[in-house]
Chains A and B, each alone.
Chain A
């Protein structure tokens, strides 16, 4: 298993590295070692199912934030071809926390836009940990409108702790940038597919996630506020993040149940980071399928259905007015 791991993955990582060591030592001829390897591998498989099959919602959050989890550009190079990144909002600057550009999905031109986290500290600082400024959202909208003008579908990949809460972001209208994206994405006359790939952090995620189809990777999470933020406000104690994660119902299954997302994309056992190639292959398959279905609908119908979908969102009861 590559790279860093989470606490609950530790027994598995230890067992796996033990297997690796044993395999390296033995040349595979020793019957006893072969038996032992077989035994350990079956044990690892059981452990994998046990560890990843019963994750708490907080552990799911950890998995969604896993440092080895694939980010937008990891998917871009595996799912699409002819990637040509485009930059800037034409107003202020280029925000590296959001990437966007031309690509092809199974030969068809599409605009791909997504949050981008960094892998190492320096890269992460440059990417602002995937937390966009207003110019990131404005770049995204500019690219979406460009795609719409030429009838090209739009695919967004969503993975952010949230829109950046900073002085410059407020000065340049973080709220306005998000709000405008929500309004405009709802009426883009081309197919829009959004995929929550990791952290769906509130308005900062939603500003790239208004679409005809909203998909969610199995271990992604999506909520109105981070568990930490929710805990510190409602529990008055940030340490209650696990309780808050439970209460927020933020897993892909939770959201599918509430009708907020349209489809769950299954991940390799243990999560996307454990087999990025398999994850990308599955995502590509699903995107091609989804896009074909949307392509069959005239733009007017598409926009009308999208609007109706969002107009229905929510749950309330209605009593006769007193």
Chain B
């Protein structure tokens, strides 16, 4: 039995909903191994279980504390609010009300916070998702804020770090939430063309439309230990295949084994790994010189293809044969 299956059998896993609910409790049970832990100690340990290394889900603001140099964070793009374009309701539940409740419960405007900050003195652009806001789902506001963070990163040529934590696309915004996948992924292509680094950090849980867009597109993809990461949710898969899922299925370690993430990184090591990565993923002066000198970069692959496509493609000028009908020949 994998740890997430235990969720259903009563060993209550994640502190249900927001961490607020257990704020007053002295003891916390580990979601993964069931160990009873002293809350104060757990906070000191950055919410990492000392016994099994499970990384508890934390709010976006707490995560920013793990990620950035103290006092370096400055929030950007505040004031963007979801519009409920479809006036969506499921029975008596109105999306509009859900949004208001989520804002009140979390103090957030939507499921992602964006901003500027520093990691070991290096300036970065960050976007950190928060599962407590409607399951970290991606609607128009999340998509737009991530898009703007990409824009900031591109404009300042500063590395982008996105911390994902999401159940996927926000159903209540239907097709427009699906389009946020295309929007964010398309803009990341531009960042890639400009050789500005993007590091994606996957935390528990990252599934659905977020995984299938920006979360998997990092130059580096890092994952927290034992996080649930996947495209389809485990329950949907189980219903589809009507069979037991493999041990550890869709955990970070499972993804690592299958070659889908670069590293599983403990919260305590995160800044050290980021520091090394950021040092590496920066164009050195020597490389810049080579690039300006017209040398081919590894990353030029797609662009060579572009040139091949519209300028240099060898056109066959045959009069007959199958190519003879080619209007562009």
- Identify the A interface with B (CB < 8 A): 82, 104, 107-109, 145, 148-151, 163-167, 169-176, 178-180, 182-184, 186-187, 189-190, 202-203, 206-207, 210, 222-225, 229-230, 233-235, 240, 243-244, 247-250, 254-255, 258, 260, 298-299, 306-307, 310-311, 313-322
B216 proximal to A (CB < 8 A): yes
Contact check: which of B176, B233, B254 meets A260 at CB < 8 Å?
A: B176
B309 touches A299 (CB 8 A): yes
Known: A164-B240, A310-B187. 19 other contacts (CB 8 A): A165-B237, A167-B249, A170-B249, A176-B260, A179-B215, A179-B216, A186-B185, A189-B305, A207-B212, A224-B175, A234-B172, A243-B91, A247-B86, A250-B174, A310-B179, A313-B143, A314-B143, A315-B83, A322-B78
Are B140's CB and A148's CB within 8 A? Answer: no
The answer for the CA separation of A182 and B86 in the assembled complex, in Å, is 25
Asked if residues A203 and B181 are in contact (CB atoms below 8 Å), the reply is yes
Within 8 Å CB of B83, what residues of A? 315-317
Give B182-196 as 1s and 0s: 1 = Cβ < 8 Å from A's Cβ atoms: 110111111011000
Bound CA span A149–B81, Å: 42
Assembled-state Cα–Cα distance A206/B250 (Å): 23
| 13 pairs, A vs B, C-beta closer than 8 Å | A145-B305, A151-B328, A170-B237, A176-B216, A203-B169, A206-B182, A260-B176, A298-B310, A310-B186, A313-B180, A314-B179, A315-B140, A321-B79
Q: Which of B8-16, B264-272, B319-327 contacts A (4 or more CB under 8 A)?
A: B319-327
Residue of B nearest to A222 (CB): B175
CB distance from B91 to the nearest CB of A (A): 6
Q: How far is the CA of A184 from the CA of B306 in the complex (A)?
A: 12
Q: How many whole Å from B194's CB to the nearest CB in chain A?
A: 12
Instruction: Check B169–A224 contact: CB distance below 8 A.
Output: yes
A169, B230: Cα distance in complex, Å: 10
Give the residue of B169, B171, B213, B249 whose beta carbon is less than 8 angstroms from that of A179. B213
Interface residues of B (CB under 8 A from A): 78-83, 85-86, 88-91, 93, 139-141, 143-144, 147, 169-183, 185-190, 192-193, 208-209, 211-217, 230-233, 236-237, 240-241, 245-246, 249-250, 254, 258-260, 302, 305-306, 308-310, 313, 322, 325-328
**Among candidates A107, A109, A166, A180, residue contacting B241 with C-beta atoms closer than 8 Å:** A166
Nearest Cβ distance between residue A41 and chain B, in whole angstroms?
A: 39
| Bound complex: CA A235 to CA B240 (Å) | 20
Please state if B309 and A190 are interface contacts (CB–CB under 8 Å). Answer: yes
* Most chain A CB inside 10 Å of its own CB: which residue of B90, B190, B230: B90
Chain B residues, CB < 8 A from A307 = 186-187, 189-190
Most chain B C-beta atoms within 10 Å of own C-beta, residue among A179, A258, A306? A179
- On whether the beta carbons of A186 and B186 are closer than 8 Å, the reply is yes
Contacts of B328 in A (CB 8 A): 108, 151
Min distance, Cβ B205 to any Cβ of chain A, angstroms: 13
The 4 closest A-B pairs by CB, nearest first: A165-B232, A314-B140, A186-B186, A182-B185
Residue of B nearest to A314 (CB): B140
Minimum C-beta distance from A235 to chain B (A): 5
Asked if B89 contacts A316 (CB within 8 A), the reply is: no
Measured in the bound complex, the distance between the Cα atoms of B69 and A225 in whole Å is 40
B174 — nearest CB in chain A belongs to which residue? A248
**Of residues B144, B169, B217, B232, which shows the largest number of chain A Cβ atoms within 10 Å of its Cβ?**
B232
Query: Within the complex, what minimum Cβ distance (angstroms) separates B215 from chain A?
Result: 7
Do A260 and B175 form a contact, CB below 8 Å, given A173-B258, A307-B187? yes
Q: For the complex, what is the distance from the CA of A201 to the CA of B7, rounded to whole Å?
A: 29
Whether B187 and A311, one on each chain, are in contact in the complex, defined by CB atoms closer than 8 angstroms, is: yes
Determine the chain A residues whose CB is within 8 A of the CB of B193 once the complex forms.
187
